[in-house]
Each structure stands twice: as structure tokens, then as C-alpha cells.
Amino acid sequence: MSSRLELIGPQGLRTDGRRFNELRNMNCKPSVLSQADGSAYIEQGNTKCLAAVYGPREARTKAQVLHNRANINVEISLAPFSMEERKKRSKSDKRILEIASAVKQTFEPIIMTELYARSQIDIYLQILQFDGGTVQICINAATLAIIDAGIPMKDYVCACSAGCIDDEPVLDLNHLEESNTPELTVALLPKNDKITLLQMESRLHIDKFQQVMEMAAKGCKEIHTVLDKAVRENIKDLLKKSSI
């Protein structure tokens, strides 16, 4: 039975050899696509995501025009080869639409959309490989791509998940862990420690809630340093290239 699965080994290590409070290995690179205004590629453990941002540009249909701010459009697709079982997922899958709407609503108050009235910002996200934490990687990739596109934002948005295995809070769940434990995803603005997105599935006792949320928030801060470093390095590269 899957519920009897040992998620913590005898040495106190998790199935992929991490400790309780350890993030998965994170790799990220902005500016990976030539056509997009901004793009980014992120790996968090075995979950891989590619993001492209277009805009601010003219809205595609008149119905999408907002007279006082830019409209944000988010599309997420899961590659058919991203999961164990090869399967084509339709774009109207409820789960994917839910994540897309969560990403959209997360960025709406953060991007300074009021500067670009009557225009549209498109965020396209492609999950290339899936191993848990779809929401968090989508948000992190989108943040990096929006920064790369030069669209003004109030702050970074960093997302991270945390869960609870045998009453012990654990950070950054992989797919095996998230299907067997409660999972809490937090998106944080690192500058003022405010939470923009909070999602949880499965059952967690309220006494543990604060502990798990604080752990996820700590993970968000770690992710922030990684993203910030990637952005700064990218800018340094650009400066070097332009000075020649």
C-alpha cells in the first residue's frame, strides 16, 4: 500500500537523500529564448520548467482590453513526456487551468500593470519534466522571465512547498512525497515577508500549520537568493557583451 511507504529512512533522510529542511538542487537561467521578450529555464530537482513572457503588447482581442491596466494572460502546458506515463494532456484540464489562474492572480498585484493600460502581457509556461511542485516552479519561472523581460514588478515572487511527514515539517516536496502527505505551497514577497499565494491539499492539523508555513517561507527566501544571483549574473554577462 502506498500509505505504508517509508518516506523517511532510518538515518532521518528522505527518499532522495535530503534532510528535512533541505531544498532540491536548483538550477536557473534567464534569457534562454531568442523570440520572447523575456524567458527563463528552471530546474528544481527533477521538475523542469521553461517560461516565456511576451509583452506588454497589443491585446489580442478587444474583450481582453482593460482601460486602466494591462491584462495578464497565463498559459501552462504539460509536455506529454513529462510524466511517467506518456499522456497528452488537454489544455482545458481543470488542474492546469487552476494553476494558470493562480499564477495570473499572483502576479496581478505584483506587476505594475497600471503602467501599461490597454495592453496585454502573455506568460507561457511549459513543464518539461514533472516531479512535484508544479505551482511553485511555475511561479518561480514566471518571476525570472518577467524580470528578464524588463517588466516592472514591486518585488520578486518566490514560491516553495512544505509538508509534514510523521509530524515533522519537511521542505520542498517531490512527487512521491506530495502524493502521500499534506502539501502547502507558499508564494512570498521576500522584501516585506507578505504571502501572496497559499494553497494546501490533504489534511494537516491546525497546530502544525504555522510551523509548516514558516518552513515554506524560509524555503522561499532561499529560492530568492538563488533567483537573485541568477538575475545579477545575467545582467553582468549582458554588460560585458555590450561594452565590447
Partner 1 sequence: MVKEFESSINEKDFILQGIKEGLRLDNRDIYDFRQLGITFGPDYGRSEVTLGNTRVLAKVSCEVMRPYQDRPAEGMITLSTEMSPMAFPSVEPGRPSEEEILVSRILEKAIKRSRAIDTEGLCIVANEKVWSIRVDIHFLDHDGNIIDAACIAAISALAHFRRPDITVIGEEVTIHSIEQRNPVPLSIHHMPICVTFAFFENGEYVVVDPTLQEEQIRQGDMTMTLNIHKEICALSKAGGTPLKMETIINCSQIATTKAKWITEQIQAALDAEKSKK
Interface with partner 1 by CB under 8 A: which residues? Answer: 63, 94-95, 97-98, 101-110, 182, 184, 189, 192-207, 209-210, 213-214, 217
Residue 207 CB, shortest distance to partner 1, in Å, is 8
By C-beta, is 29 or 175 nearer to partner 1?
175
By C-beta, is 102 or 125 nearer to partner 1?
102
Quote the CA–CA distance of 111 and 211 in Å, as a whole number: 30
By C-beta, is 63 or 244 nearer to partner 1?
63
C-alpha cell at 42: 528552471
Task: Give the start-end residues of each E strand in 12-157.
Answer: 26-30, 38-44, 47-58, 71-78, 119-129
Residue 3 CB, shortest distance to partner 1, in Å, is 10
Quote the CA–CA distance of 105 and 93 in Å, as a whole number: 18
Quote the CA–CA distance of 12 and 61 in Å, as a whole number: 55
Residue 141 CB, shortest distance to partner 1, in Å, is 16
By C-beta, is 21 or 179 nearer to partner 1?
179
3-state secondary structure of 37: coil
Question: Which residues 6+ apart lie within 8 Å of 88 measured at CB?
Answer: 80
Residue 68 CB, shortest distance to partner 1, in Å, is 13
Residue 206 CB, shortest distance to partner 1, in Å, is 5
Assess contact for 166 and 8: CB atoms under 8 A: yes
Quote the CA–CA distance of 150 and 37 in Å, as a whole number: 8
By C-beta, is 121 or 217 nearer to partner 1?
217
By C-beta, is 110 or 230 nearer to partner 1?
110
By C-beta, is 1 or 244 nearer to partner 1?
1
Residue 208 CB, shortest distance to partner 1, in Å, is 9
Residue 120 CB, shortest distance to partner 1, in Å, is 16
Q: Which of 125, 121, 133, 123 is nearest to 171 (CA)?
A: 133
Assess contact for 137 and 127: CB atoms under 8 A: yes
Helices 206-243 and 134-149 sit at what angle, rounded to 10 degrees?
Answer: 30
Identify whether 109 is preceded by a cis peptide bond (ω within 30 of 0).
Answer: no
